[in-house]
């Protein structure tokens, strides 16, 4: 409602004649330029109804957005960083990147990925491009985007990885089953290669929310122990230590029974757009290494060893009883 009140007010002030049935490019451009820098700019979930209400076609929206982008990019290098004008210019670029996925079947994926991979671009805007890429990606594309920016060649800095992880959580909620699985396994791979203690909390909160298997997995325990034991890389890592230790205590109290894959080669080899064959695992259930098993023993998960000891004692008792019976019958 607030959005449409602002539209109506804008029309009255400018005399643009913003029709409830259609709008020309100039009027749409003026509105979007103001909306992108507003304190309460239009949310993602309202864009479709906005387009329908004002008969904005995919072609028109794309045309106007790219015009705003070209204008903002032309001004970017002439503005002094961190000034109000510079911030507003960046917010207009961010708005364009955020709205491009709403251009229907018009191809925008290549543009968004090009923007995201250009390291000269502002880090925050690159993350906005990644969010938009994830929103319109299929399952396999989502996997590739996350692995690219969280794990492999275009791996971003720790602060940016934190944002991308939260973007993945956002997209996961509205994704199809195949895309959810691709996001889940990509985040698992990224966490298994994480070197910042404080970032464990970000990944861990997201993964515990979207996967019960991860929350009670032996891999989660192994990753937590590893990060607790490695040197801190920054002050944030030191501040994170008490919370990691509390997570470890809580995890040691539950029965660990699940395995989740942190096998990068297996995840990369799988096409998440295709269902797995019946009975196939595609190596998604990773085998726990001997070193991980040793770590589990060290942190006090001794329930299995207790069962083993009791079994041995029971066998000895049966053998001794049998020997006693045999001796008795011999007499």
Residue 308 lies in a domain: no
Distance CA 76, CA 228 (A): 43
Distance CA(146)–CA(164), nearest Å, equals 8
Q: Are residues 290 and 156 in the same domain?
A: yes
Task: Please list, residue by residue across 110-119, b when 16 or more beta carbons sit within 10 angstroms of its beta carbon and e when fewer do.
Answer: ebbbebbeee
- Can you tell me the distance from the alpha carbon of 174 to that of 229, in angstroms, rounded to the nearest whole number? 37
**Same-domain status, 112 and 176:** no
Q: Which of 83, 117, 151 finishes a domain?
A: 117
Q: Is there a domain that residue 113 lies in?
A: yes
Residues 99 and 156 in one domain: no
| Number of residues that make up the chain | 331
Indicate the number of domains in the chain.
2
Same domain, 87 and 231: no
The span from the CA of 37 to the CA of 85, in Å, is: 10
Q: Are residues 50 and 143 in the same domain?
A: no
Q: Which domain holds residue 184?
A: 137-303
In a domain, 314, yes or no: no
Q: Do 108 and 18 share a structural domain? A: yes
Grade residue 40 by pLDDT with cuts at 50, 70 and 90: confident
In a domain, 126, yes or no: no
Identify the CA nearest to 260 among candidates 203, 304, 201. Answer: 203
Q: Look at phi and psi of residue 51 and say left if phi exceeds 0, alpha if psi is from -120 to 50, else beta.
A: alpha
**209-223, 233-247, 274-288, 299-313: which range is least confident on average?**
299-313
Q: Does 171 reside within a domain?
A: yes
* pLDDT digits 0-9 by tens, 84-116: 999 999 999 999 999 999 999 999 999 999 999
Is the alpha carbon torsion for 59, 65, 69, 71 positive or negative? Answer: positive
Same domain, 84 and 187: no
Report the distance separating Cα 35 and Cα 94, nearest Å.
11
Say whether both 162 and 291 belong to one domain. Answer: yes
Q: Take residue 123 and report the two structure tokens written for it.
A: 């880090």
Summary mean pLDDT of the chain: 83
Phi then psi for 9, rounded to 5 degrees?
-60, -40
Q: Which of 84, 117, 150 is the last residue of a domain?
A: 117
Q: Identify whether residues 147 and 229 lie together within a single domain.
A: yes
Residue 151 included in any domain: yes
The reply to whether 81 and 143 lie within a common domain is no
Q: pLDDT above 70 covers what percent of the chain?
A: 77
Span 316-321, average pLDDT: 57
Is 29 a member of any domain? yes
For residues 106 and 202, membership in a common domain is answered with: no
Q: Are 117 and 84 in contact (CB under 8 A)?
A: no
Q: Are the CB atoms for 63 and 25 separated by under 8 Å?
A: yes
Q: Are residues 103 and 185 in the same domain?
A: no
Task: Kindly state whether residue 178 falls inside one of the protein's structural domains.
Answer: yes
**Over residues 169-186, mean pLDDT:** 95
């Amino acid at each position: 409602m607030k959005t449409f009140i602002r539209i109506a007010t804008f029309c009255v002030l400018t005399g643009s004649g913003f029709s409830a049935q259609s709008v020309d490019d100039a009027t749409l451009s003026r509105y979007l330029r103001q909306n992108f820098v507003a304190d309460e700019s239009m949310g993602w979930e309202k864009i479709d109804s906005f387009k329908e209400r004002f008969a904005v076609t995919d072609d028109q929206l794309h045309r106007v957005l790219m015009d705003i982008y070209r204008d903002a990019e032309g001004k970017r290098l002439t503005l002094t960083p961190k000034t109000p004008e510079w911030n507003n210019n960046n917010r207009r670029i961010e708005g364009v990147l955020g709205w491009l996925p709403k251009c229907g079947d018009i191809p925008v994926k290549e543009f968004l990925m090009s923007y995201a991979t250009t390291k000269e671009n502002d880090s925050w805007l690159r993350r906005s491009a990644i969010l938009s890429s994830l929103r319109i990606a299929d399952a396999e594309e989502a996997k590739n985007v996350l692995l690219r920016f969280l794990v492999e060649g275009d791996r971003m800095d720790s602060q940016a990885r934190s944002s991308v992880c939260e973007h993945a959580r956002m997209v996961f909620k509205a994704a199809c089953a195949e895309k959810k699985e691709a996001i889940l396994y990509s985040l698992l791979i990224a966490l298994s290669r994480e070197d910042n203690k404080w970032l464990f909390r970000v990944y861990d909160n997201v993964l515990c929310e979207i996967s019960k298997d991860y929350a009670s997995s032996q891999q989660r325990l192994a990753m937590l122990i590893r990060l607790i034991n490695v040197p801190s890389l920054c002050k944030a890592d030191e501040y994170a230590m008490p919370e990691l230790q509390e997570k470890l205590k809580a995890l040691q109290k539950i029965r660990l029974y699940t395995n989740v894959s942190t096998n990068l080669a297996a995840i990369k080899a799988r096409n998440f757009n295709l269902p797995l064959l019946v009975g196939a695992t595609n190596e998604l259930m990773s085998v726990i290494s001997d070193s991980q098993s040793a770590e589990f023993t060290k942190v006090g998960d001794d329930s299995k060893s207790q069962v083993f000891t009791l079994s041995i004692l029971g066998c000895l008792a049966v053998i001794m009883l049998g020997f006693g019976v045999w001796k008795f019958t011999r007499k």
